[in-house]
A and B are shown apart, each in its own frame.
Chain A
């Protein structure tokens, strides 16, 4: 690839290097203040009472006994929050229906899932708060629950929301109440004609279980509702402004009356965008007149936050004998959870996004059922879809006798390819990842031994742009203080600071990045959609340009020349007869008119999508069905890499989450719709012994529309693992798995079924 950015590569001084992150020392010494580390004088501890039923009407709630317990300062239920009508509030990355948000925060007439919040207590310590919860009397009228997406779509399914209307494409046979919140149809070309031309057609059905983001830090929020009516919140949130807006809307406050301070955050992956306990902490503070910290326990996290959708997907693909895909048809039903959630939308976009399909149709359903309202999880909707599409791609390649990477190369999306949902791709790097994977020694390495196999898989994520603001103050010692609103979940202070430093010709260490509260910086959307290094980095670049402009004018003043005569290159201001480094000039700005502040607010367009191609070797234990990962290589187009270590870390972390999703993680439900494994022991996430080194291979196809060529890197690495591992299992033992997770009992059962069928 030879883009304008590419030719600049060698001249970068900061981008592509590996400085130590600015918040590093605080985080290795235990000093960094995470949400649960907030301490305020007079702090009370809040706990939430949650529904033991998956679906029930609330007849009554009696809090009298709890209120009388010594040490209890406030008890609240939905009676303490005014109802909202069904109205959408814009949140930047998506929007939210205020009625549903309000009822999810505190159930009103019905509980819709086990773990649904019903009431809350603030007390002198957590133990007293928990004792008080036991004294709250809730009279429930249990109803039938439904937790499997296809069951929830049936005509006789229990209905969760009586007045739910299906959004989007009309349903052919809809009559009366429904659990279908959204119906999506995308189409391109003529699939009938396409399948008629196909020499080989394969159609398969796929199930995936509900999985959780699994961040190690539980949700936590501290609120102080001051007598002057101002509400301050210290939160563990991916987006302080999004948190502010949701809380303000729910509590009917103007946004200017709410200040959200984003604490250090212990992981989010999409699950810390919607508010759960922030409004509860606020109401408890209002009622008690004291600051209140509400912390979830781990069961709360599993049962009432996240998760990402379980799904049913049917994929049919047709190809010509020469290996060209001619048609694709996908039918996809995703869990919405208790309230509409819409992750089906990106699922439908992603299912065929890696391939150039002349004829395609995608139909999707967002289905309400008795699970917590689903939330984004790293490339939301894409992993379920990739598992389905990529597995059918593998089967087609096998049937046609074509190498699986070669088959993908023949059909790979490239610049100009139009996706079934409409947009045509700008410059993308799928082909580059496929070629790099094919040439990688892993792909040609011999893999010996019984029950071992190799698989490949691809994945796609669209990434987000959205709004970011920064201000940058030039200090007299030549450093720059960079004030930003993006929660730093994985080193973005540094990746943003590096773009400012590159533009100003200073070092990363000469930038002092600060993530501040919602009163101290301009509006900034969530850290999500792999957008932070891309969009907030872009804002930092623009703020640096603003600084250069102002400093050039100062230099001109100093040198008594016209500003046009001042040039700036890599940290050096010069005119025909003078030159000053950035640092030297910074030392003189107080003599030439005072402080210089650069600022920028961007609404970043020109988002660059990201693709990955992964190779995995597995060994299957035929006795137990346990799948061991022997070797893993993840090739990804990262666009221009700003900080290689943290880009690699995103890939490695995403892959390991994908391995967990593929092999172990699932919500196990009983017949009454209760989750039976709401602990980190029973919900089995990968540990250090479960995975080998994940080798990241970064291909750089710069995004031509970003000043430094950045694409988001964080999300796509979770998409390929389930399909790639499924392919590897097939190549190891000759059995295709169509259900996630491919956990030992399921693999074992498949082996037994296969043996008895012979």
Chain B
């Protein structure tokens, strides 16, 4: 078995240290080592977006990032969206607008939507669809997701 490397990073605002093998993806480390199972594995090769996290301000597929690459980085996962017991407006709007059915894609969409709204606080429908095109949802047909993101943008502007 390969030897493990120590990695120091910041996840959801907290300093975290872990040991990982060079071949382990960030997704695997988050889920299996750190038990942050909010990021989901849908394809493990960058095609579905279920594993999306924010890495230094950019939404990335955590299955395509190696655990060792996040040394010194800042990572936000779906577990870091809510502030203590208060849901993030994007989470609240997903609930109110029924933007999830099975919910397996939801963590990825929430994180991708946060990255979008952090950058473009008032996106058009086209911008939302474009920025979320790396996330596949097989259940909803996307409309309620797009509307929930628009709704969240309005709430956040208040």
Q: Which residues of A contact B (CB under 8 A)?
A: 18, 20-21, 23-25, 27-34, 36-37, 39, 70-71, 125-128, 213-218, 264-269, 295, 297-298, 489-491, 645-646, 648-650, 652-657, 679-681, 685, 687-689, 691, 693-694
Is the contact region of chain A dominated by helix, strand, or loop, or is it mixed? loop
Complex-state Cα separation, A266 to B140, whole angstroms: 12
Closest partner residue, chain B, to A643 (CB atom): B98
Question: Which are the 3 A-B pairs with shortest beta-carbon distances?
Answer: A30-B38, A266-B104, A652-B141
Closest partner residue, chain A, to B134 (CB atom): A687
B74 close to A (CB within 8 Å): no
Chain A residues with Cβ below 8 Å from B41 are 36, 218, 295
Sample of 20 more A-B contacts, CB < 8 Å, known A20-B95, A30-B77, A688-B128: A27-B103, A28-B107, A28-B110, A29-B78, A29-B87, A216-B136, A216-B137, A218-B42, A264-B103, A265-B102, A267-B138, A491-B98, A649-B101, A655-B141, A657-B138, A680-B43, A687-B136, A687-B142, A688-B135, A688-B146
Chain B residues with Cβ below 8 Å from A213 are 138
Chain A residues with Cβ below 8 Å from B105 are 216, 266
Closest partner residue, chain B, to A491 (CB atom): B101
Q: Give the Cβ gap from A627 to chain B, nearest Cβ, in Å.
A: 17
Q: Give the Cβ gap from B56 to chain A, nearest Cβ, in Å.
A: 20
Partner of A28, one of B23, B100, B129, B138: B100
Complex-state Cα separation, A215 to B32, whole angstroms: 22
Q: Are A25 and B45 in contact (CB under 8 A)?
A: no
Q: Are A36 and B40 in contact (CB under 8 A)?
A: yes
Complex-state Cα separation, A217 to B82, whole angstroms: 24
Chain B residues with Cβ below 8 Å from A71 are 1
Q: Give the Cβ gap from B94 to chain A, nearest Cβ, in Å.
A: 5
Partner of A489, one of B1, B101, B141: B101
Closest partner residue, chain A, to B80 (CB atom): A30
Chain A residues with Cβ below 8 Å from B45 are 298, 679-681
Q: Give the Cβ gap from A494 to chain B, nearest Cβ, in Å.
A: 10
Partner of B104, one of A31, A34, A650, A654: A34
A264-B103, A657-B138, A689-B129 known; A646 vs B98 contact (CB < 8 Å): yes
Q: Are B144 and A217 in contact (CB under 8 A)?
A: no
Complex-state Cα separation, A150 to B3, whole angstroms: 54
Chain B residues with Cβ below 8 Å from A266 are 40, 42, 102-105
Chain B residues with Cβ below 8 Å from A654 are 141
Chain B residues with Cβ below 8 Å from A491 are 98, 101
Q: Are A693 and B98 in contact (CB under 8 A)?
A: no
Q: Are B102 and A687 in contact (CB under 8 A)?
A: no
CB proximity to A under 8 Å, residues B1-24: 1, 21, 23-24
Complex-state Cα separation, A268 to B48, whole angstroms: 16
Q: Which residues of B contact A (CB under 8 A)?
A: 1, 21, 23-24, 28, 31-32, 35-45, 47-48, 50, 77-79, 81-82, 87, 91, 94-98, 100-107, 110, 128-130, 132-146
Q: Are B138 and A30 in contact (CB under 8 A)?
A: no
Q: Are A28 and B50 in contact (CB under 8 A)?
A: no
Q: Give the Cβ gap from A421 to chain B, nearest Cβ, in Å.
A: 31
Chain A residues with Cβ below 8 Å from B107 are 28, 30
Closest partner residue, chain B, to A647 (CB atom): B98
A29-B82, A264-B103, A490-B102 known; A298 vs B138 contact (CB < 8 Å): no
Closest partner residue, chain B, to A31 (CB atom): B38
Q: Are A688 and B102 in contact (CB under 8 A)?
A: no
Q: Are A489 and B102 in contact (CB under 8 A)?
A: yes
Most A CB within 10 A of own CB, among B45, B132, B140: B140
Q: Give the Cβ gap from B49 to chain A, nearest Cβ, in Å.
A: 9
Q: Are B38 and A693 in contact (CB under 8 A)?
A: no
Closest partner residue, chain B, to A34 (CB atom): B104
Closest partner residue, chain B, to A680 (CB atom): B47
18 A-B pairs with CB atoms under 8 Å apart are A28-B100, A29-B79, A30-B36, A30-B77, A31-B38, A37-B37, A217-B50, A267-B138, A298-B45, A489-B101, A654-B141, A679-B43, A681-B47, A687-B134, A688-B130, A688-B133, A693-B143, A694-B141
Number of A-B contacts (CB under 8 A): 185
Q: Give the Cβ gap from A218 to chain B, nearest Cβ, in Å.
A: 7
Chain B residues with Cβ below 8 Å from A267 are 101-102, 104, 138-139
Chain A residues with Cβ below 8 Å from B48 are 216, 298, 680
Q: Are A689 and B101 in contact (CB under 8 A)?
A: no
Is the contact region of chain B dominated by helix, strand, or loop, or is it mixed? loop
Complex-state Cα separation, A28 to B101, whole angstroms: 11
Q: Are A649 and B144 in contact (CB under 8 A)?
A: yes
Chain B residues with Cβ below 8 Å from A39 are 35
Chain B residues with Cβ below 8 Å from A297 are 43-44
Q: Are B142 and A656 in contact (CB under 8 A)?
A: yes
Chain A residues with Cβ below 8 Å from B130 are 688-689
Complex-state Cα separation, A127 to B97, whole angstroms: 40
A30-B38, A490-B101, A657-B138 known; A25 vs B87 contact (CB < 8 Å): yes
Complex-state Cα separation, A687 to B133, whole angstroms: 5
Chain A residues with Cβ below 8 Å from B96 are 20
Closest partner residue, chain B, to A658 (CB atom): B141
Q: Give the Cβ gap from B47 to chain A, nearest Cβ, in Å.
A: 4
Complex-state Cα separation, A669 to B114, whole angstroms: 40
Complex-state Cα separation, A125 to B24, whole angstroms: 11
Partner of B132, one of A24, A31, A655, A688: A688
Q: Give the Cβ gap from B136 to chain A, nearest Cβ, in Å.
A: 6
Q: Are B43 and A28 in contact (CB under 8 A)?
A: no
Chain B residues with Cβ below 8 Å from A648 are 98, 144
Chain A residues with Cβ below 8 Å from B47 are 298, 679-681
Complex-state Cα separation, A657 to B140, whole angstroms: 9
Closest partner residue, chain B, to A268 (CB atom): B102
Q: Are B91 and A29 in contact (CB under 8 A)?
A: yes
Q: Are A646 and B136 in contact (CB under 8 A)?
A: no
Q: Give the Cβ gap from B87 to chain A, nearest Cβ, in Å.
A: 7
Complex-state Cα separation, A216 to B1, whole angstroms: 31
Chain A residues with Cβ below 8 Å from B94 are 24, 28
Complex-state Cα separation, A403 to B138, whole angstroms: 34
Q: Are B136 and A653 in contact (CB under 8 A)?
A: no
Q: Give the Cβ gap from A715 to chain B, nearest Cβ, in Å.
A: 13
A680-B43, A688-B129 known; A653 vs B141 contact (CB < 8 Å): yes
Complex-state Cα separation, A655 to B139, whole angstroms: 10
A653-B101, A680-B48, A689-B130 known; A215 vs B138 contact (CB < 8 Å): yes
Complex-state Cα separation, A34 to B82, whole angstroms: 20
Closest partner residue, chain B, to A29 (CB atom): B82
Q: Are B98 and A18 in contact (CB under 8 A)?
A: yes
Chain A residues with Cβ below 8 Å from B133 are 687-689
Q: Give the Cβ gap from B80 to chain A, nearest Cβ, in Å.
A: 9
Complex-state Cα separation, A265 to B105, whole angstroms: 11
Q: Are A127 and B23 in contact (CB under 8 A)?
A: yes
Q: Give the Cβ gap from B11 to chain A, nearest Cβ, in Å.
A: 13
Complex-state Cα separation, A547 to B145, whole angstroms: 38
Q: Are A688 and B142 in contact (CB under 8 A)?
A: yes
Chain B residues with Cβ below 8 Å from A214 are 138
Q: Are B37 and A30 in contact (CB under 8 A)?
A: yes
